[in-house]
Amino acid sequence: MVRAGGLAPSVGTPHPCQFVVQPGGFEIWIGSPCGPPEDPRQRLMLISAGAAAHNICVAVRALGRDAEACLLPRSEEPCLVTAVGIGAPWPPSPDNELEYAALTGQSRPSAAESPLAHNPLPETLERAAAAEGGFLRILAAPEAQPLEQLILQALRDGDDSGGEVGRTMIWDPDGPVLYAVRDAVAVDHRPALAVLSSWGDNRKAWIRTGMALQHVLLTATACGLAAWFLSPSIELTAQQWLWYATAGGVGWPQLVLRLGSTPS
């Protein structure tokens, strides 16, 4: 189960989490109450911790036990971000079994072979986010176009300069892999853009965002899709656009995802 937590993606920073086994469950800690210069509010760090918490819950439930994540359980311990409790025997749901298969690499279907192939994809991914308290919105082509152009320009600028900004992160259960933009774009010329939002903009909301992110990533894997999430520099530029574009909308935009064909 600790290994499952370690398989979670690290959003923007080296994996920040430490896992402590306790009687009746697991604790997830971060190393410092202060964020690094590139993440001073620890937003990305806590999103990563939330993704790890979701993976541990998936693994516990796959073994036939209930699991519950308690966020920021002790106010006097700011580095303790989540405690995952192991509950009573509880049969895993079909959705949980699909998530666990995606997490452990037992199932890598194509989009056509996926057990979820006959489900409407946007609704399937939106439900995955909502189950963890997040809000996923897959953008229609007219509203996605200006954001896609902004992202591609930022990627090209970074690629020309040789910096990490010219890369996107492709999540894979075997570990995140960095692809240069020319490789990533070649995978799918028309990826869907999705915005993952939270219902608040605070530490608990960021952990919830990470749990929703990982539920979406595992569901996308079960659907035979790959998911790209953006490097922090591009994320910042994209967020500026999102705050403008979603003024008066629902929630706080936290992450931009690109969903497309699985890399071969």
Divide the 264 residues of the chain into consecutive groups of 10 and give the mean pLDDT of each group.
85 78 94 81 91 95 96 94 96 91 74 54 90 89 75 61 39 42 38 84 95 92 78 57 56 81 56
Contacts of 5 (CB under 8 A, 6+ apart): 17, 19, 26, 28, 52, 53, 55, 56
Residue 112 has a pLDDT of 53
Domain endpoint, select from 74, 109, 144: 109
Q: Would you say how long the chain is, in residues?
A: 264
Residue 77 has a pLDDT of 94
Whether 40 is in a domain gets the answer yes
Q: Do 257 and 135 lie in a common domain? A: yes
Determine the Cα–Cα distance for residues 79 and 175; give it in Å rounded to an integer.
25
Q: Are residues 63 and 57 in contact, defined by beta-carbon separation less than 8 angstroms?
A: no
E strand or H helix that includes residue 220? helix 203-222
Residue 190 has a pLDDT of 59
Domain endpoint, select from 79, 109, 139: 109
Q: Do 40 and 161 lie in a common domain? A: no
Q: Do 154 and 65 lie in a common domain? A: no
Domain endpoint, select from 77, 109, 141: 109
Whether 121 is in a domain gets the answer no
Residue 111 has a pLDDT of 52
Residue 161 has a pLDDT of 37
pTM score, whole prediction:
0.82
Q: Do 139 and 99 lie in a common domain? A: no
Q: Do 172 and 57 lie in a common domain? A: no
Q: Do 81 and 148 lie in a common domain? A: no
Return the CATH number at 164.
Answer: 3.40.109.10
Residue 10 has a pLDDT of 80
Q: Do 51 and 143 lie in a common domain? A: no
Domain extent at residue 238: 131-261
Q: Do 252 and 135 lie in a common domain? A: yes
Q: Do 137 and 256 lie in a common domain? A: yes
Q: Do 19 and 99 lie in a common domain? A: yes
Q: Do 235 and 162 lie in a common domain? A: yes
